[in-house]
Structure 1
């Protein structure tokens, strides 16, 4: 019985979370041959003040102007 834990920052809508759960379940069915009724997907929402990114708290990082990619890739 697969158990998948997805951690995201807060702010996803109910519809977005439902889509993530459907997509993860579909991937387990397609790629691992699991039965959908045996797949458990849990979404944990974490406040941005409790999540780090690029060496900073995510909410602080989001407040700073981000440098544009000068490489044009």
Structure 2
């Protein structure tokens, strides 16, 4: 039973998440021969202030490029 736990910063649309689930599932079917009905994908959205990157909180990092 494949299980994928994807963590992203908040902001993806429902349509984007649906596409992620569909394409990840297709990849597991194609590459590993897994059954779609056995594949579980969890998308966890994290606030940018709770994610660090390059020594900074992501919200501050992104502001530095605005």
Which has the larger share of helix?
2
- RMSD, matched Cα: 1.0
- Corresponding residue for residue 22 of structure 1: 22
The normalised TM-score by structure 2 is 0.96
Structure 1 outlier segments of 4+, above 6 Å? none
**TM-score (norm: length of structure 1):** 0.87
In the aligned structure 2, how far is the partner of 1:32 from the partner of 1:54? Answer: 34
Structure 1: gaps spanning 5 or more residues: 67-73
Equivalent residues in 2 for 1:22-61, closer than 5 Å? 22-61=22-61
Structure number with the bigger relative contact order (C-alpha 8 A, sep ≥ 6) is 2
- The gaps in structure 2 that reach 5 residues or longer are none
